Amino acid sequence: MTFQDIFKSSFLENVQSVSLFDMALALILAFGVGLFIFLIYKKTFAGVMYSSGFGVTLVALTMITTLVILAVTSNIVLSLGMVGALSIVRFRTAIKEPLDIAFLFWAIAAGIVLAAGLIPLAMFGSVAIGLVLLVFANKKPHLNPYMVVLRCNGHESESAAVGFLQNQVQRMAVKSKTAQQGMVELNLEVRLRGHDTDFVNQLASIPGVASAVLVSFNGEYMG
């Protein structure tokens, strides 16, 4: 085997299976779609703390998926080996927001569709998904839930505080109650009639009420 025979291998022949123009075009489009996904994520984010790193991950994930699918479509043998290699990868990062899963799948799906050459589907599909997320993810409920935490000294002060609170809010539901010697703690979910929160001051001034705390609540966290 001569030095020239070494370079006459199927490996070098596979270099020409995907042209440089196709690779550059696919990666540029993947970057554009990933950037669009990142902007939609930034607009629709409603979690506790915004992470710019996750947005950058969406852009990178779209480009990486496009790169992998381009390699898979160019060689059947390589595709089988890559499936086996990727099957051993395990990710341990916890997804804190349920909507983040949709963005991850969106980035992966966009990268696959672009690498498959279905550019119109990737473009129009991404625009449609982005519009749906903008409409529904940013839709705020008319009545925002709040949690009222009451600490009372006895049954009489508890009844007075609950009765007063029921007249001040539109809806009220007891979530938990803790009774100790000489102390009762109530957690109540309330829906306010407006933006006025002065009733909390009046609650705290009721005889026998040790403290009254109002916090926002979205069903997953309080803050």
- pLDDT band of residue 222 (cuts 50, 70, 90) is very low
Tens digits of per-residue pLDDT, 82-91?
Answer: 655 555 556 6
More confident residue, 182 or 91: 182
- pLDDT band of residue 223 (cuts 50, 70, 90) is very low
Q: Which residue type is seen at 65?
A: T
Instruction: Assess if residue 222 is contained within a domain.
Output: no
Calculate mean pLDDT across residues 172-183.
84
More confident residue, 90 or 209: 209
DSSP state of 222: B
CA dist., res. 92 & res. 217, Å (int): 28
CATH number at residue 162: 3.30.70.260
How far is the CA of 71 from the CAs of 34, 67, 86, 114, 162, in angstroms? 19, 6, 14, 13, 66
Instruction: Assess if residue 223 is contained within a domain.
Output: no
180 pLDDT more than 50: yes
Instruction: Tally the domains of the chain.
Output: 2
Whether residue 211 sits in one domain with residue 150: yes
DSSP state of 169: S
CA dist., res. 123 & res. 139, Å (int): 24
36 pLDDT more than 90: yes
Calculate mean pLDDT across residues 127-142.
78
Q: How much of the chain, in percent, has pLDDT values that exceed 70?
A: 73
Whether residue 14 sits in one domain with residue 108: yes
Whether residue 79 sits in one domain with residue 185: no
CB atoms within 10 A of CB 133: 19
- The boundaries of the domain holding residue 100 are 3-137
Instruction: Assess if residue 221 is contained within a domain.
Output: no
Query: Helix, strand, coil % (nearest 5) of the chain?
Result: 60, 15, 25
